[in-house]
Amino acid sequence: MDSSKWQHVSRLIRRTKLNSITCKCVGLIVFGLLVRALFMSSFTGLDWNVISKSLLNESSGGIDRIKFLEVPQIAWGLNNQKIAFVRACLTARMLNRTLLMPSLSASLFYKEVDLLQPIPFDKVFDFDRFNSLCEGFVQLSRFPNRTMNVTELHKGSGRKWTVEKDLDQLRQFSKEPYDSHDVVRIVGKNPFLWHDHWAVKDYAKVFQCLFFVEEISKEADSVVSKIREMGRGSLETGLVPYVAVHMRIEKDWMIHCKKLEQRSNITEICSSKEEIMERVSNIAGLKAPVVIYLAIADSLLEDKSILNGWKKGLIPFEKKKLGVLEIYKNKPYLIQSAIDYEVCSRADVFVGNSFSTFSSLIVLERTLKMMKMGVTSSCESNVRWPSYAYNIRGESNGPHVWMTNMSASSLQAISYGSNHISCRSIPL
């Protein structure tokens, strides 16, 4: 502040007679305001119009300035829905919009859309935690309580609809006249089936913001505690290790994987119960006794002998033998799957199928955990959070060591599976 301004303020104070306590207080407030105004005016680098607008928006919730993306109800299995949600988030980011909280599907119907049982996103995932962790990258919003003008974006379909056409369409809707609308509402296909325009690292950023609500985490805690308890008598000291096996031998999977093998001319997709048991028993460094938790969709299982035939020292449990059926009972498919996802992701060792989206996203999460610890290769034994694919032969007829390729340019391998997996990854 220059000397002329200070002299002006001093003269104002000297001329003011402040006799009472009240007047003195008023005088001090006035003095403070004058000094603040003069002090702030000496800084030319701050745009106070912008700051005042920002404060105005904050006080009113900023609703009038926010633009949204609305997507169709998300369907299929848990992890297909997770991919669809993240893809919708990244689409909203490209359009510079906030994603309106989508409806998930609690039931599992692939074609009968009218039979899908809707469930709000925040009944499965922690809404506030998501926004806190993903702030600045993507954002989620509940539906505002006001009238909004909407424009519809019809997603293309069919063989003539290409990745390039899809990308051009999104670019058009990020500009006028579409950009002037409060809401861009996408109509058409399930987001899981949209064309993919983003690298694995972009998906990973959003996946790291997704956490199940506390109720689901607590249910998973109970299952994990029961698994540990069952194995505790087998070891004298230390934490009881357990291996989670995503044992895909249900009737729906066997139909799907056989058709997939025929179409893709790949024989490393389906695995029999016997092959899975043999490869799990041959995991390098696996010291018996060890508890084996079999994550399986019980209602779709035709083979009831999955607990028989395991190598000595491997102690298998499924929900019924473990005594946790009540935890899963009467819960919708999506919640049951979410509990099993948590149990598998926390396991000391995880073994799954590389063509399963469920297995693939668990491996992605475990890969991220390893990378946070500075580990980019699980090729060697004695690393934490190791994962394997039993459908691909590894060393000594064991399952193949598996880490997510974080340098991939798309989510193709995780969305639809691959037999090209590695035990190395690349830092984000």
- Provide the pLDDT confidence category of residue 177 given band limits of 50, 70 and 90: very high
For residues 348-360, give the mean pLDDT: 96
pLDDT for 329 beyond 70: yes
pLDDT tens-place string over residues 64-101: 348 999 999 999 999 999 999 999 999 999 999 999 99
Q: What pLDDT does residue 122 have?
A: 97
pLDDT for 209 beyond 50: yes
For residues 233-262, give the mean pLDDT: 83
Domain ranges of the chain: 3-46, 65-207, 214-416
Q: What pLDDT does residue 45 have?
A: 35
Kindly report whether the global pTM for this prediction surpasses the value 0.85. no
- Provide the pLDDT confidence category of residue 26 given band limits of 50, 70 and 90: very low
Could you tell me which CATH class the domain 214-416 is placed in? alpha beta
For residues 372-401, give the mean pLDDT: 91
CATH number of 65-207: 3.40.50.11340
Asked if 240 and 231 touch (Cβ cutoff 8 Å), the reply is yes
Question: How far is Cα 292 from Cα 280, in angstroms, rounded to an integer?
Answer: 9
For residues 45-68, give the mean pLDDT: 40
For 406-425, letters b (16+ CB in 10 Å) and e give bebebbebbbebbbebebeb
Beta pairing, strands 242-246 & 140-141: unpaired
Q: What pLDDT does residue 195 have?
A: 93
Asked if 363 and 404 touch (Cβ cutoff 8 Å), the reply is yes
Q: What pLDDT does residue 297 have?
A: 79
For residues 354-383, give the mean pLDDT: 92
Do 214-416 and 65-207 have the same topology in CATH?
A: yes
For residues 365-390, give the mean pLDDT: 91
* 3-state secondary structure string across the chain: CCHHHHHHHHHHHHHCCCCCHHHHHHHHHHHHHHHHHHHHHCCCCCCHHHHHHHHHHHHCCCHHHCCEEECCCCCCCHHHHHHHHHHHHHHHHHCCCEEECCEEECCCCCCCHHHCCEEEHHHCECHHHHHHHCCCCCCEECCCCCCCCEEEEECCCCCCCCHHHHHHHHHHCCCCCHHHCCEEEEECCCHHHCCCCCCHHHHHHHHCCCCECHHHHHHHHHHHHHHHHHHHCCCCCCCCCEEEEECCCCHHHHHHHHHHHHHHCCCCCCCCHHHHHHHHHCCCCCCCCEEEEEECCHHHCCCCCCCCCCCCCEEEECHHHHCCHHHHCCCCHHHHHHHHHHHHHCCCEEEECCCCHHHHHHHHHHHHHHHHCCCCECCCCCCCCCEEEEEEECHHHCEEECECCCCCCCCHHHHHCCCCCECECCCC
Question: How far is Cα 323 from Cα 144, in angstroms, rounded to an integer?
Answer: 44
User: 232 or 345: which carries more pLDDT confidence?
Assistant: 345
Q: What pLDDT does residue 17 have?
A: 40
pLDDT for 167 beyond 90: yes
For residues 317-329, give the mean pLDDT: 93
pLDDT for 24 beyond 90: no
C-alpha dihedral sign at 187, 188, 189, 195: negative
For residues 124-141, give the mean pLDDT: 95
For residues 405-411, give the mean pLDDT: 90
Share of the chain above pLDDT 70, in %: 80
